[in-house]
Structure 1
Amino acid sequence: MARQQKNKHSSRGRARSKNGRLSVLGRHILFSLFEAQEPLGRKDLLKQSQQQGYSSSEINDEITNLLSRGLAKSKGKSRLTLNRAATYYTGFLEMKPAGFGFATDLRPVGKKREKLEDPYISRSGLLSARHGDKILILVNTKNHRRNPEGEVLGIIERGSQNLTGFYYQEGSRLVVYPEDPRFPFHVVLDSLPHSDTKLDDGDAVIVSLESDSSSPSQVHGQIAEVLGNPHRLEVQIRMIVEKYGLPTTFSPEALREAKQVEANPGTASREDLRDVLHYTIDGEDAKDFDDAVGVVQLSNGYRLYVSIADVAAYVKPGSFLDAEAYERGTSIYFPNAVLPMLPEELSNNLCSLIPEKDRLTVTAVLDFDRQGVVLGKRFCRSIIRSSKRFTYKTIKKIIVDRDEEIRRHFKPYLTPLKWATKLAEALQRQRMKRGSVALTITEAEIQLDENGSVATIEAKQRSFANQLIEEFMLAANMAVAETFAERGNELLYRIHEKPDPDKVKEFGSIAQAFGLEPEGAEPTPQWYNSLVTQVAGTPKEFILNSLLLRTLQQARYSPDNAGHFGLGAPNYTHFTSPIRRYADLIVHRLLAAFLLAEDKSSKKLPPVRGRSLKEAGLHLSERERNGISAEREMAERLKCRFMEPRVGERFKAIISFISDTIFFVDLIDQFVSGVVHLSSLTDDYYLHDWKRYRLVGDITGKVLQIGDIIEVELTEVDVLSQKIYFAPTS
């Protein structure tokens, strides 16, 4: 048996050497060198590898191969170390349901390198790595793929050891099939938990995985918790929480710190702005009020006060509160629940700018001329007293609808709101003149009834009331970023890099299918806006804006300022929401240090405690993406529940994308998307014209194209996989 095992390793090593891939043994040796963090003797490597079933001759041959390829280096006569000049990276494995994956959040091992696209990792390059694992990879940057190719050398740290899935008894076998398709394996249970809980086939469970497995397709584990019927809403919420690793509680230490926080931890050094009229404008259901604003008319323009909750005064670096807020990174909002970044004692009370309560704030005082051009800016630690809590609906009735009854009720605020309106309009004009992308992405608003069932799915209402407060927040964020950029001080910027050229090129073909003519070849903000204008007010507007959105890069946090393409802003940061975004809390701390340095007439900022800005930027960008994914999945699950009883009903839909075997539709009167299988088109055999993004009937010549409006019938809803299926009615 031992000889057979060695032969298996040896043949695998030779086969992979031919196509440039490393053998399993080679990967094992390189990972051992990485883990050691210091030169290893050949004897140590021989001993480790022989335990894996390799012979000394195989090991020595592989070491010679690694040295000749420049992947390892000799240190003295008998020791080896990793050659850190080679393209080694650490990252996290992002698996795809088809069985391959990509390495994300790359960090080079050794010298600094240019940014790479996420490396593709084939099924054979995975070893036993699973989705979410932190891995060491070797990247081949010389292939001709859009993404470079990598191969896993070893697993630095396992991702979540708990998975949600569905339990089944298959003969004598007990298995759990993971709900998340990014885990393309089944979990074999050695036994059932000793519990009185009833367990039926198809029940949702949380399964704890064994830490290691030699087979990537079969893993052993134990049931940690039985959740029950997966169709129940509370079970689906729990599955999302587990899937995305969302913390639902705070530690006793963090809660104790929140209760012990002083209501006013020092106000002597603050500027008293309680005589400046401030008010908040938020949604109907908002509970945490980060920001309050006030506008005063000047002889030559306007003065804008943007006062933001001074969370940094309460949440100190090194505290339990701070550590747990950093790990969360952001608050997460579901239609029926909020997972806050900070305990409610802070988020809904001490830090929240509640009307008629003295609150500690950091204020941006910005002066503008009547055209919205900045004349001056300063920042101060302050104390304010918000006078009124407005909602977007109320502000809309006052400044857009000009509702006489509402205006009489809020008469003392009419003049300040008129100034705010004029300033917001001027700021919007300046932003568009500067070059801001004006995509119109309508969001769905899901309303639940008292039983937790979906009552309605409607377009989230937006008006100039929303735009007013957004313009003020954008102005404050840019002012902070500009101040730091002008002084050359470090900051955690919110950057949005230029669009992906390949995605823009692909969109050009789609634009032709729509019969659109982009303005120029270079994808500038004006290029985007010209396309949006061409479909404004038509049924194609939503589809085109969604497709354009896919060409844009994701905004992220970084100390390296690359500007913000979408806003046309060379300097931008997040400053206005420290209750719900940790990135803003970092910016507040940097701004507090900046103000302290100003008071001491020093150009050099004092050091800021905590992690490096680069490390924080990577972590917080990942936490943001994770939260957005969880919120989107919750919305998709609720949409499925909403549509499930409507099987057999007919709807008007617009074709949003076409592929070889399916096409996607978006319902026009509901914010629901679904799939149509080409096999359901029974009037003809349709051929996919991929160059023109359309289907053509082989006999009739009938054309179905992106942007076409058709009638469809709802045929199936799979709540568990979040899939909705339709078929054309004719």
Structure 2
Amino acid sequence: MSKEVFEKRKKVIYDLICDPYYVPMKSKEIAMLLSVPKEEREELRNILQELVEEGKIQVNKKGKYKKGNGGFIRGTYRATQRGFGFVVPEGEEGKDIYISENYTNGALDQDDVDVVLVETKSEKTRSREGKIVRIVKRGIERVVGLYQKDKKKQYGFVIPDDVRFHKDIYIPVQKSKDAKSGDKVVVGLTSYGDEHHKPEGVITEVLGGHKEPGVDVLSIVKDYDLAVDFPEKVNNQALNVSQPVSQADCAGREDLRKLLTITIDGEDAKDLDDAITLEKSGDEYILGVHIADVTNYVQENSALDKEALKRGTSVYLVDRVIPMLPRTLSNGICSLNANEDRLTLSCIMKISKAGEVLEHRIVEGVICVNNRMTYTNVWKILEGESEELNQEYKELIPMLEKMKELSAILREKRKKRGSIDFDFPETKVILDDQGKPIDIKPYERNTATDIIEDFMLLANETVAEDYFWQEIPFVYRTHDVPQEDKVRSLATFINNFGYSMHIGQQDIKPMEIQKLLTKIEGSKEEGLISRLALRSMKQARYTPENTGHFGLAARYYTHFTSPIRRYPDLQIHRIIKDNIRGRMTKERREHYEKILPEVTKQSSAMERKAEEAERESIKLKKVEYMKGKEGEVFSGVISGMTKWGMYVELPNTVEGLVHLTNLTDDYYHYDETRYEMIGERLGRVYKLGQRVEVSLVNADIKTRTIDFILKKGDETKDV
């Protein structure tokens, strides 16, 4: 059939389907209606397929064709380990399109695709459904996995670590880089395969045996394509600029070295971004938040700056830190180490006894930290837990007590305006010297961590408000109002514990969520509800526009306080210094207006990647910790419900799935409107938040999943 004839028939078929009297038909029915001979019906199907791919028509699950929505939707495909996935459309946040396993069309996780919507059986479906019609751009070019060599043949296969990549990768022996069976490797994909052929690749890096210490986390590093080593040019530049602070460096800066200055960080911290000074005059506090002046050493568009932007953030994995800047800078001249002169950008605020910032200055300064304090020691001093520490740091005690006093004032002020305080412990995994998890316990917040958090939040808000009203191009940390359905899901969940929250018809207020967190404070379910409340929130991001921060109930917010480990902080320091020095010309404004959209987009993307890698490394060690505990019984709380089962969370934050197929005492169905699992015969109901006892069935390190079964009886063990 000629191209001309094909196009004519295509128009006839399209006009037929668009006819207002047309009733959806299958291809065979269309062929009969148009009297298409049997030998030409394959061509008819090709025409219909092309119309579907163009988005002009769509096909439902019964194979019937109807008029399309006018075009395809472009987005990114996110696969799941269960075979189906979702397309995240460009510019349509929160409107993901479900893609069944039969409609993926060979797409892999992270591919850019075109998708057409398909008709669903029920209009009550909770999400749109679609069919991928074209792969625009492959999203994955390299895969990390386990190499297995065929002993008899001249090839091997790599089994991907990422369970969303559902095919093994064929490796010709000459492209195996001498990898041995059981090695973890990085594979560059040379072919993505099709329904008849496996993907093909070449091994580019051998990470080591899969049981060697550290290789498991290194595999995650490589899987997320996180840069570890710095280019030689960047390292050389870092060495060249890492010179002791000189008199010339201090020229034109405010000398703050006479102020009693401390840092408060974790025991293991080596990159100290911030230092604090505090004095009191009458009823007013003079708080100084002094931040490392990284821009003095990282010049715009230098090799250091470009590498920092590329990385976006430091990454804190379960067993290592991947810094944004070379350690020569991050742990050296930029770190506010005790008894050494350091350059800062300082926000000095006069604060009333009610917590109001009466006035402030942002200055380039030079400081000398008197004491490097830890959260633990400051907490012990303030709580009177150690007489020895009280004696050692007696000259600091008056200032520390004022810090505690001001922190409480600021915290209460934020609480009154509705700021959401997610006071729940994060997971701390304790590893032995071989990288094996020997304990999992929560990070506990205390008075000292509160002090630093409160002071940093205040500085960030103060700087953001200042530059918003100056109408200078800037980077803001924004947090949008959550989706109503997610907050209503949270409200349903907390009803199982006897709590409630008010949700308005038009607006969701952060105050309501904060009231809930206040109610649950000190309860057994505090950690669980806090985490689920956090999951109901949207993700904060960096933007050049100030749209406010929902979680903090703040009109103005930025990230000013961590330029060693976050690029947005480094970027705004550069803007602030240009402004302080009188260099914010029309040209500089235009320059920042041009670059900030891309800077904020890159920073947000790298932050998400870092967070995902951090979560995966913790999840891996949680599974490894549970491995070998099969058959043991634990107490937990039902933390999630899906149509395939119930998630149960243990007190140490380990979470596992009780699969529907393992609920053998009855036939259960999931009521998604009530978030309940209901037994049809006996009427037993499982609800979110319900306390249950579970037995460990399986801890799968490859898939990083934990499976439980419900256990009857009184004998339990808290992990």
TM-score by length of 1: 0.82
1:495/1:89 Cα in 2 relative to 1: closer, same or farther (>3 Å)?
farther
Please list, as runs of the form range in 1=range in 2, the aligned pairs for 1:72-83 lying within 5 A after superposition: none
Q: Which runs of 5+ in 1 are unaligned?
A: 21-54, 70-85, 108-113
- The answer for the alignment partner of 1:704 in structure 2 is 686
Question: Is the 2:638–2:688 contact (alpha carbons within 8 Å) kept by the matching residues of 1?
Answer: yes
- The answer for the alignment partner of 1:131 in structure 2 is 109
Question: Is the 2:147–2:181 contact (alpha carbons within 8 Å) kept by the matching residues of 1?
Answer: no
- The answer for the alignment partner of 2:81 in structure 1 is 97
SS of 1:266 mapped into structure 2? helix
- Which of the residues 252, 261, 277 maps onto 2:241? 261
- The answer for the alignment partner of 1:650 in structure 2 is 633
SS of 2:615 mapped into structure 1? helix
- Which of the residues 216, 225, 230 maps onto 1:245? 225
Moved more, 319-328 or 180-189: 180-189
Deviations 1:260-296 (A, max 9, x none): 1152473212111111111100011101100001111
Q: Which amino acid aligns with 1:566?
A: G
Please list, as runs of the form range in 1=range in 2, the aligned pairs for 1:325-724 lying within 5 A after superposition: 325-401=308-384, 403-521=386-504, 522-597=507-582, 606=589, 608=591, 612-668=595-651, 670-724=652-706
1:16/1:252 Cα in 2 relative to 1: closer, same or farther (>3 Å)?
farther
1:211/1:588 Cα in 2 relative to 1: closer, same or farther (>3 Å)?
farther
Q: Which amino acid aligns with 1:132?
A: Q
SS of 1:695 mapped into structure 2? strand
Question: Is the 1:438–1:528 contact (alpha carbons within 8 Å) kept by the matching residues of 2?
Answer: no
Work out the CA distance in 2 between the residues paired with 1:631 and 1:4: 56
SS of 1:674 mapped into structure 2? strand
- Which of the residues 183, 204, 209 maps onto 2:189? 209
Q: Structure 1 residue 225: deviation in Å? A: 3.6
Q: Structure 1 residue 355: deviation in Å? A: 0.2
Question: Is the 2:157–2:170 contact (alpha carbons within 8 Å) kept by the matching residues of 1?
Answer: yes
Question: Is the 1:164–1:242 contact (alpha carbons within 8 Å) kept by the matching residues of 2?
Answer: no
Question: Is the 1:312–1:585 contact (alpha carbons within 8 Å) kept by the matching residues of 2?
Answer: yes
Question: Is the 1:594–1:605 contact (alpha carbons within 8 Å) kept by the matching residues of 2?
Answer: no
- The answer for the alignment partner of 1:167 in structure 2 is 148
SS of 1:515 mapped into structure 2? coil
SS of 2:453 mapped into structure 1? helix
SS of 1:622 mapped into structure 2? helix
**Residue 181 in structure 1 maps to residue 163 in structure 2:** yes
SS of 2:628 mapped into structure 1? helix
Deviations 1:421-480 (A, max 9, x none): 221111111111121012333211111122322122111021111010100000111111
1:257/1:716 Cα in 2 relative to 1: closer, same or farther (>3 Å)?
same
SS of 1:411 mapped into structure 2? coil
Work out the CA distance in 2 between the residues paired with 1:19 and 1:169: 53
Work out the CA distance in 2 between the residues paired with 1:322 and 1:667: 43
- The answer for the alignment partner of 1:305 in structure 2 is 288
SS of 1:711 mapped into structure 2? strand
Q: Structure 1 residue 255: deviation in Å? A: 0.5
TM-score by length of 2: 0.83
Q: Structure 1 residue 131: deviation in Å? A: 2.5
Work out the CA distance in 1 between the residues paired with 2:209 and 2:253: 55
Question: Is the 1:187–1:221 contact (alpha carbons within 8 Å) kept by the matching residues of 2?
Answer: yes
SS of 2:339 mapped into structure 1? coil
Work out the CA distance in 1 between the residues paired with 2:2 and 2:192: 23
**Residue 155 in structure 1 maps to residue 151 in structure 2:** no
Question: Is the 1:185–1:217 contact (alpha carbons within 8 Å) kept by the matching residues of 2?
Answer: no
Work out the CA distance in 1 between the residues paired with 2:661 and 2:55: 55
Q: Which runs of 5+ in 2 are unaligned?
A: 19-42, 58-69, 713-719
1:266/1:707 Cα in 2 relative to 1: closer, same or farther (>3 Å)?
same
Moved more, 339-348 or 187-196: 187-196
Work out the CA distance in 2 between the residues paired with 1:497 and 1:620: 17
1:222/1:480 Cα in 2 relative to 1: closer, same or farther (>3 Å)?
same
Identity %: 33
Q: Which amino acid aligns with 1:206?
A: V
Question: Is the 2:656–2:706 contact (alpha carbons within 8 Å) kept by the matching residues of 1?
Answer: yes
Moved more, 351-360 or 720-729: 720-729
1:267/1:608 Cα in 2 relative to 1: closer, same or farther (>3 Å)?
farther
1:695/1:149 Cα in 2 relative to 1: closer, same or farther (>3 Å)?
closer
- The answer for the alignment partner of 1:221 in structure 2 is 201
Work out the CA distance in 2 between the residues paired with 1:559 and 1:592: 18
Q: Structure 1 residue 492: deviation in Å? A: 0.8
1:611/1:645 Cα in 2 relative to 1: closer, same or farther (>3 Å)?
farther
Q: Which amino acid aligns with 1:630?
A: A
Work out the CA distance in 2 between the residues paired with 1:685 and 1:595: 69
Deviations 1:152-197 (A, max 9, x none): 6553565433443453649967433322122233322343546554
Moved more, 241-250 or 701-710: 701-710
1:123/1:450 Cα in 2 relative to 1: closer, same or farther (>3 Å)?
closer
1:715/1:490 Cα in 2 relative to 1: closer, same or farther (>3 Å)?
same
1:490/1:393 Cα in 2 relative to 1: closer, same or farther (>3 Å)?
same
Moved more, 573-582 or 640-649: 640-649
Q: Which amino acid aligns with 2:694?
A: V
Question: Is the 2:271–2:564 contact (alpha carbons within 8 Å) kept by the matching residues of 1?
Answer: yes
Q: Structure 1 residue 232: deviation in Å? A: 4.0
Computed over aligned residues only, the root mean square deviation of the Cα atoms, in angstroms, reads 3.8
Moved more, 188-197 or 320-329: 188-197
1:152/1:268 Cα in 2 relative to 1: closer, same or farther (>3 Å)?
farther
Work out the CA distance in 1 between the residues paired with 2:119 and 2:129: 7
1:105/1:461 Cα in 2 relative to 1: closer, same or farther (>3 Å)?
farther
Question: Is the 1:496–1:555 contact (alpha carbons within 8 Å) kept by the matching residues of 2?
Answer: yes
Question: Is the 2:169–2:201 contact (alpha carbons within 8 Å) kept by the matching residues of 1?
Answer: yes
1:682/1:159 Cα in 2 relative to 1: closer, same or farther (>3 Å)?
closer
Work out the CA distance in 1 between the residues paired with 2:266 and 2:93: 39
Question: Is the 2:55–2:71 contact (alpha carbons within 8 Å) kept by the matching residues of 1?
Answer: no
Moved more, 337-346 or 162-171: 162-171
SS of 1:397 mapped into structure 2? helix
Q: Which amino acid aligns with 2:109?
A: H
- The answer for the alignment partner of 1:76 in structure 2 is none
Q: Which amino acid aligns with 1:727?
A: I
Q: Structure 1 residue 137: deviation in Å? A: 4.3
1:161/1:451 Cα in 2 relative to 1: closer, same or farther (>3 Å)?
closer
Q: Which amino acid aligns with 1:578?
A: P
Moved more, 643-652 or 187-196: 187-196
SS of 2:496 mapped into structure 1? helix
SS of 2:614 mapped into structure 1? helix
Work out the CA distance in 2 between the residues paired with 1:398 and 1:16: 79
Question: Is the 1:590–1:608 contact (alpha carbons within 8 Å) kept by the matching residues of 2?
Answer: no
